[in-house]
């Protein structure tokens, strides 16, 4: 497998990727390889998100899976319980080198498992998932963050043979208090992008008990 690619520079995203890596490295140092260490409030909500994302996969037969923004590889624990009899060839990718190091330590005995540092999957897989990549925009202007989101969706589309899944925070009612560091949006904004820019079909999964939605995106 080739080394991790970085096309962030071509898209003018290198500094943004570096800021994201710093943010999540600090989370990991503060809370270890736990849901809090990847900025989730609990194991229950971390897994609830993953259950929605895995709806893009056909778990009745072996498949390959790219997990972009894999953190410490928590998805692998859920894969083992949901698909105990289905071999899943897994590649985790994360911008934060400390996350990848934690993931490699945790999953060193699992077969068909690789982790790389970067913002791009160096292979095409049957499916890709990306959980929680678009929520914390730090101090970035919305337009720049949406450039990052669009660039990431294009990459997921290009590296997924059968489809990919991503999640977003829902926009709240006008007047509701939201941290300016969070990116909140509406399904139609990104369903339209998937249809028009990617030429793909996007299905929205919601609600599932959180102020979030998941998009399942498949080639047309
Ligand atoms: C909210 S955490 C979620 C981790 C994991 N998906 C989970 O649910 O346990 C987001 C992770 O995505 C990584 N990340 C964010 N944007 C990324 C990108 N464009 N490419 C690769 N990793 C990214 C961060 O470093 C962080 O580890």
21 ligand 1 Cβ < 6 A = yes
Q: Where are the domains of the chain?
A: 14-219
The torsion of the CA quartet 89, 55, 146, 2, rounded to 10 degrees, works out to 10
Residues facing residue 136 across a β-bridge: 182
Question: What pLDDT sits at residue 3?
Answer: 34
pTM, entire model: 0.95
Ligand 1 pocket mutation, candidates 68, 71, 102, 214, criterion most atoms within 8 A of CB: 71
CB 77 within 8 A of CB 140: no
Q: 14-219 maps to which CATH number?
A: 3.40.50.150
What three-state secondary structure class fits 114? Answer: strand
Q: Is the peptide bond before 100 cis (omega within 30 degrees of 0)?
A: no
> Residue 172 Cα, ligand 1 centroid: separation in angstroms?
23
Q: Write the CA distances from 8 to 2, 95, 119, integer angstroms.
A: 17, 11, 7
160-170 vs 212-219, strand pairing mode: antiparallel
What three-state secondary structure class fits 14? Answer: helix
152 ligand 1 Cβ < 6 A = yes
Helix (H) or strand (E) holding 7: none
Question: What pLDDT sits at residue 174?
Answer: 79
> Residue 86 Cα, ligand 1 centroid: separation in angstroms?
25
130 ligand 1 Cβ < 6 A = no
CB 122 within 8 A of CB 90: no
Question: What pLDDT sits at residue 7?
Answer: 55
Mean pLDDT by 10-residue block, N- to C-terminus, for the chain (220 residues)? 48 93 98 98 98 97 98 98 97 98 98 98 98 97 97 98 98 85 97 98 97 97
């Amino acid at each position: 497998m080739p080394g991790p690619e970085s096309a962030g520079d071509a898209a003018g995203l290198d500094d943004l990727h570096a800021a994201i890596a710093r943010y999540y490295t600090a989370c990991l140092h503060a809370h270890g390889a736990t849901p809090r260490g990847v900025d989730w409030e609990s194991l229950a909500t971390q897994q609830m998100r993953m259950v929605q994302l895995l709806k893009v996969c056909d778990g009745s037969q072996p498949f390959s899976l790219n997990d972009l923004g894999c953190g410490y590889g928590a998805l692998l624990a859920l894969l083992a319980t949901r698909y105990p009899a289905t071999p899943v060839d897994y590649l985790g990718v994360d911008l934060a080198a400390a996350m990848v190091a934690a993931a490699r330590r945790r999953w060193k005995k699992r077969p068909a498992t690789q982790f790389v540092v970067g913002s791009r999957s160096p292979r095409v897989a049957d499916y890709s998932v990306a959980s929680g990549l678009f929520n914390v925009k730090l101090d970035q202007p919305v337009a720049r963050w949406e450039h990052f989101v669009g660039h990431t969706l294009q990459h997921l589309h290009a590296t997924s043979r059968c489809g990919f899944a991503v999640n977003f925070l829902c926009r709240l009612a006008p007047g509701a208090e939201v941290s300016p560091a969070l990116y909140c949006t509406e399904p139609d904004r990104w369903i339209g992008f998937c249809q028009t820019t990617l030429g793909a079909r996007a299905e929205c999964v919601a609600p599932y008990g959180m102020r979030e939605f998941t998009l399942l995106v498949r080639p047309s």
